[in-house]
Structure 1
Amino acid sequence: MENYFNKIIELFVKSDVSTSSQDEFYRWLIGEKFSVEKEKALYGLWDNLKEGTPAETSTQTQQSLHDVLKKIKQRQRGTNVRFLRFWQVSAAVLLIALLSALYSPSNKTLVNADLIEQYVPVAEMTRLTLPDGTEVQMNSTTTLLYPEQFTGESRSVYLLGEANFKVAKNEKQPFIVKSNDFQVTALGTEFNMKAYPGDSTLSAILLSGSVEVRFNNLASALILKPSEQFTYNRQTKEETISHPDLYDATAWQKGELVFKSTSLREIITVLERKYPYSFVYALNTLKDDKYTFRFKDKTSLQEVMDIIAEVSGHIRYRIEDDKCYILPL
């Protein structure tokens, strides 16, 4: 049975598949059925990869990638149950992407460097400076992989989550942020990219300079102008370009929460990243109505939920320990 799952995963890694097929594969991979067998096959494939990796992939690089994934796996085991599904998604997406990179002859920049993992826990943010001088601010529950030194024709990093990049200018070495089937390429600019595992939409906002956005399984591309936001829906394949209020679009960097025409389900997804609480509710409790809210930095969850419950008019809530229960009126 384990060998069967190994063959499925290896076939996926070595094949070009559509975005919809990728989504279906990830849902199958993190499903509870045969979870033990799938996990063994997934990490077994990784552990046995040395024998079949391309010649240009060094043993040191393989070990570097392996160490990153080992830390993610350990974090899965040590984290609270409420975060388990998020890390199942993150680990699955990340591992498959890195395995695919090792099998892809066109993706040498990522695999030819020793990788460093930077992770931001729930309810936190962090700043860091990459080896080339690029400044990065990362939102909560975000993982960034980057090399100890940028070599080759481009500077490539891998993002799961949301981050703002102030890219150090280097016209000879483009800066590329990759996230599975979505990537942004820049020379010297500032942009915000959002690509959380499990979210149906991906987005990039250009604050200054110029960037190329590749989407739709990297088959489509366009150039953004300053103040433009590109949004792509993985499920519907719908793409839009808008001109949002840049202060609102980057509000998370100041610790603020801004929701514009957002459903309660989408709001709860953001709140679970912002606050160290899990939300418990029945899907039929939440209507599809859209809401607009703005909350200042350091607003407590109780204050947030008081306003949401009052405005929506059809829910109430109760906070107990590390859980927030949402109930119908």
Structure 2
Amino acid sequence: MENYFNRIVELFVKSDVSPSLQADFYRWLADEKFSRKKEEALYNLWEKMTENRDTESDTSVDTWRSLAKVNKRIRESQGNAHRKLLRFWQISAACLIIAFISTLYFTHTTKREAADLIEQYVPIAGMGHLTLPDGTEVQMNSTATLLYPEQFSGKNRSVYLIGEANFKVARNEKMPFIVKSNDFQVTALGTEFNLRAYPGDSTLSATLLSGSVEVKFNNLTSAQILKPNEQLTYNIFTKTESIHHPDISEVTAWQRGELIFKSTSLGEIITVLERRYPYSFVYALSSLKEDKYTFRFKENTSLTEVMDIIVRVSGSIKYRIEDDKCYITSI
């Protein structure tokens, strides 16, 4: 029976199905019968895609080709070196979309169609602002995607985030505001917090600026209540969490267009630069040293200025920019 559910989910995400069949699948997925098995099948698919994030297996390629249609707005014309990460990004996004639509169905007791979803996507090098139907203000970082309904109904206000965003939640004690991501969930009534959940990153983090939030993680089996100026960081690979008291100005630096790296490896720095600048970064991750660096760049600092400083400080790499590509090699 377990393999049966896994097979159905995998067939759906790999197949080019009609809108009517998609609707039937979402109804089946959201039906409470065998709900645990279906949730496990979705989770297994996520885990499989996570395991394949650094490989070029046939499964990951075929799945990406299908799922890219689901989240086509995040497709970018990139070089082969960048495409691996993008495939995992799109697969993760599509899994979240499926889970989110399923959640919407669970919140309704009737058989009517699920509420229409709105997708807000911020492209590379961009930043987005929007106000949700309940009055909650959201500021989104580059390459972030937010999924939310046209109108909130039911017992809570649920949205899905892929990437990083700051939320100033409109207070409504009768309808908690819930932000969901893979293996991570933040619940608030009226507060301000920053959530960072980029697919491909080893850690997820939630930082409370004001008010109070509950953060669930580890397959939503563990929870922590945060106080203002506290940050919970969760490692999705080791399944461990920690509480910090960060410099809030550094947590929110991205909202001002600044780039801050603290004890960060070159590989991690490049991952952030890929989201900030409209360039394809071509490099061999295995050739980069694991040394940690601390940098702070002001708003509107060009990629050339950033790379010049990184090259000079690290002393272990060189770079060149040609058209829309940045080539990085070790020395």
Deviation of the 1:94 alpha carbon:
2.9
The aligned residue for residue 293 of structure 2 is 291
| Structure 2 residue corresponding to 1:208, chosen from 204, 207, 210 | 210
Aligned match of 1:93:
92
Stretch of structure 1 that moved more, 78-87 or 153-162: 78-87
Q: Separation in 2 of the partners of 1:73 and 1:181?
A: 24
Residue in 2 that maps onto 1:302: 304
User: Letter of the aligned partner of 2:78 in structure 1?
Assistant: N
* Residue in 1 that maps onto 2:134: 132
Counterpart CA distance in 2 for 1:115 and 1:129 is 15
Query: What code does the residue aligned with 1:95 have?
Result: A
TM-superposed CA distance for 1:6, in Å, is 5.0
Residues 85 and 283 (structure 1), Cα distance of their counterparts in 2 relative to 1, 3 Å cut: closer
Q: How far is 1:88 from its partner?
A: 2.6
Q: Using the TM superposition, name which of 23-32 and 246-255 deviates more.
A: 23-32
Alpha-carbon shift at residue 4 of structure 1 (Å): 12
| Structure 1 residue 9: Cα displacement | 1.7
| SS of alignment partner, residue 94 of structure 1 | helix
> Which residue in the other structure is 2:151 paired with?
149
Q: Structure 1 CA distance, aligned partners of 2:116 and 2:291? A: 47
| Equivalent residues in 2 for 1:236-315, closer than 5 Å | 236-315=238-317
1:24 corresponds to: 48
Q: 2:208–2:227: 8 Å Cα contact kept in structure 1?
A: yes
Once residues 74 and 258 of structure 1 are traced to their aligned partners in structure 2, the CA distance between those partners, rounded to angstroms, is: 28
Distance 1:230 1:125 in 2: 24
- In angstroms, what is the RMSD of aligned CA positions? 3.0
Letter in 1 for 2:182: N
Q: Distance in 1 between matches of 2:317 and 2:101?
A: 49
Between the aligned partners of 1:18 and 1:206, the Cα distance in structure 2 is 30
Seen in structure 2, the aligned counterparts of structure 1 residues 190 and 104 have a Cα distance that, compared at 3 Å, is closer
The aligned runs of 1:214-233 (5 Å cut-off) are 214-233=216-235
- Where in structure 1 are there 5+ consecutive unaligned residues? 44-68
Question: What is the TM-score when the length of structure 1 is the normalising length?
Answer: 0.81
Q: For residues 120 and 234 of structure 1, do their structure 2 counterparts lie closer, same or farther at Cα, with a shift above 3 Å needed?
A: same
Q: Distance in 1 between matches of 2:169 and 2:73?
A: 32
Q: Write the distance in 1 (CA, Å) between the matches of 2:91 and 2:259.
A: 29
Whole-angstrom distance in 2 between the partners of 1:99 and 1:166: 26
Q: Does 1:80 align with 2:74?
A: no
The one of 234, 237, 241 equivalent to 2:236 is: 234
Count of equivalent residues: 299
Residues 8-47 of structure 1 mapped to structure 2, 5 A cutoff: 9=10, 14-16=38-40, 22-28=46-52, 31-34=56-59, 37-38=62-63
Classify the secondary structure of the residue corresponding to 1:253: helix
- How far has the Cα of 1:128 moved from its partner? 0.6
What amino acid is aligned across from residue 208 of structure 2 in structure 1?
L
Deviates more, 1:254-263 or 1:23-32: 23-32
Change (3 A) 1:218 1:308: same
**Whole-Å separation in 2 of the counterparts to 1:222 and 1:37:** 38
In the superposition, the TM-score normalised over structure 2's length comes to 0.81
Equivalent residue of 1:16, what SS? helix
After superposition, the C-alpha distances for 1:40-98 in whole angstroms (9 at most, x for unaligned) are 7x66xxxxxxxxxxxxxxxxxxxxxxxxx84623653x643466445432332233234
SS in 1 for 2:313: helix
Mark the CA change 1:217 to 1:118 in structure 2 (over 3 Å): closer, same or farther. Answer: same
The percent of aligned pairs where both chains have the same amino acid is 59
Q: Which residue of 2 aligns with 1:194?
A: 196
Separation in 2, partners of 1:175, 1:234: 23
**Which segment drifts farther, 274-283 or 263-272?**
274-283
Residue 325, structure 1, aligned to residue 324, structure 2: no
Shift of 1:33: 1.3
Structure 2 segments unaligned to the other structure (5+ residues): 14-28, 30-37
Deviation at 1:108, TM superposition (A): 2.1
Question: Displacement, 1:255?
Answer: 0.2
